Amino acid sequence: MTNLAFLRDADSLQGSEAASVTELLRVHAPEELAIGFIHKDLCAENRVRDESGRVVVVENESLRVGPHAYDLARTWYH
């Protein structure tokens, strides 16, 4: 079952809303995704300067392999 079908079956999403979301995804979803390491919690608070002044990323326990755009999208969302 797709996530949209799950939401529709749970009465969280109406059939017409699911159709609209499906159309938006069809139009805007990328055809290809660059995959690699992602942080999953990339935000200003997790970027700090070390003693030499270099910017480093901390709190890396959520590091995963996934689409590079995830961190960018999450940053835009927040």
Does residue 54 sit in the same domain as residue 22? no
pLDDT at residue 39 in the model: 94
Whether 40 and 62 have beta carbons less than 8 Å apart is answered as: yes
Judged against a pLDDT cut of 80, whether residue 47 lies above it is answered with yes
Asked if 47 and 69 sit in the same domain, the reply is yes
Same domain, 42 and 68: yes
- 56 and 66 fall within a common domain: yes
Check residue 36 and report its DSSP letter.
Answer: E
pLDDT the model gives residue 2: 65
The Cα–Cα gap between 22 and 10 comes to: 17
Which pLDDT does position 54 carry in this prediction? 97
Domain containing residue 77: 33-78
pLDDT band (50, 70, 90) for residue 40: very high
